[in-house]
Amino acid sequence: MPGLYAQTSGSLSTNATQLTPIPGLAITLPEGVDAIVPVTLNLPNPYAEGNNYPGALLGISVNGQVSPVQASFTYGIQAPPSFNRMPTTLVVGVALTTTKQIVQAVWCGVRGSTVMLDSPATLSAVL
């Protein structure tokens, strides 16, 4: 079924302070009833830069509404001398409805951080 897998390409970054779409990571769920679809956001190699315990907040929005189930990562050092990779995966159950739904991955930095993706990240759903 088309639209159930999306992958980023190239390098992406954000220094947004509020959740904003991750470019290229959107899928369309079909209509349905009595079903919960697992939606997975996988960022295998993200990192954050900053000098105040850098990190990121990650989420999934459905038709513009961000799920309260979110993921995050932060460094345990206030000003890290280098920025480790912080693999992060988020799985959210989305109830199908009688209309198609747009699912979008979202992200932002925490405490003034810039979040970086320089390898492919994915958003997928299993029906």
In order of start, what are the domains of the chain with their CATH numbers? 5-125 (2.60.120.760)
In the structure, what pLDDT confidence band is assigned to residue 112 with cuts at 50, 70 and 90? very high
Mean pLDDT of the region 76-94: 95
State pTM to two decimals: 0.94
User: Which residue from 110, 21, 2, 3 is spatially nearest to 64, judged by alpha carbons?
Assistant: 21
Q: Is 101's pLDDT higher than 70?
A: yes
Beta bridge partners of 61: 66, 104
- Provide the token pair at 17: 């302070």
Q: What is the pLDDT of residue 127?
A: 87
Beta bridge partners of 89: 42
CA angle at residue 99 from 63 to 91, to 5 degrees? 50
- Provide the token pair at 40: 């997975």
* pLDDT tens by residue, 28-49: 999 998 899 999 999 999 999 9
